[in-house]
A and B are shown apart, each in its own frame.
Chain A
């Protein structure tokens, strides 16, 4: 009975979160805001559905299956990566570097720094560290 309540609660919560994620994708006004809804709410929703399935197969059917756990792990690992890539796409297609807030250092946002500039800065830091080691 308790297990039934637990499984039903997981299913209902997962359904609500999945729906909220997709409504947020439609409703929110700004591209960067729209990125929030699916990457967080929908991932949590699908996690709830897979946990409900795990509980169901363990307690009701009586066979333990490990697959759901692997799928949840894979989704929780890949959701931040896809979110990061889509945010970078929004940044490059929809914003200019001058519009972004200042970084507080001499260097620009990492996404806009050219490879040559980064190599020069890293070589300078390396040389400085080498000099400090020799001096010490």
Chain B
């Protein structure tokens, strides 16, 4: 039963990633593009967690932690750059 649920979740997050990439390629405003990149990172973390369940190993959690931190910092620096024209003042 866990196997089928895992397949379903993989399908959902794969589709979500494709929708995010579509939104990054044609976004109406710059803010939407940053938002789509942030969502892409969060969906990638979910996919890594699901892959960890599939393989039965906890190795991938360090990777997801680092991706989470990089995603947060990059979103904040993009928005800071747009708001102030400078990242570190």
Contact = CB atoms under 8 A, between A and B. Distances in A.
A43 B4 CA distance: 23
B45 A46 contact: yes
A26 B23 contact: yes
Contacts of B16: 18-19, 21-22, 42
B72 to A, nearest CB: 4
Interface residue tally on A, bucketed by range: 35 or more
Interface in B34-86: 34-36, 38-39, 42-43, 45-46, 49-50, 52-53, 56, 58, 61-62, 64-65, 68-69, 72, 75-76, 79-80, 82-83
Tell me what chain A mostly uses at the interface: helix, strand, loop, or mixed: helix
B48 to A, nearest CB: 9
Interface string A110-133: 000000000000000000000000
Contacts of A85: 75-76, 79-80, 83
A22 B29 contact: no
A34 B32 contact: yes
Contacts of B79: 82, 85-86, 88-89
A23 B4 contact: no
B38 A82 contact: yes
B31 A78 contact: no
Interface of A: 4-5, 7-9, 11-12, 14-16, 18-19, 21-23, 25-26, 31, 34-35, 38, 42-43, 45-46, 49-50, 52-53, 56-57, 60-61, 63, 65, 67-68, 70-71, 74-75, 78-79, 81-82, 85-86, 88-90, 92-94
Interface of B: 1-2, 4-6, 8-13, 15-17, 19-20, 22-23, 28-32, 34-36, 38-39, 42-43, 45-46, 49-50, 52-53, 56, 58, 61-62, 64-65, 68-69, 72, 75-76, 79-80, 82-83
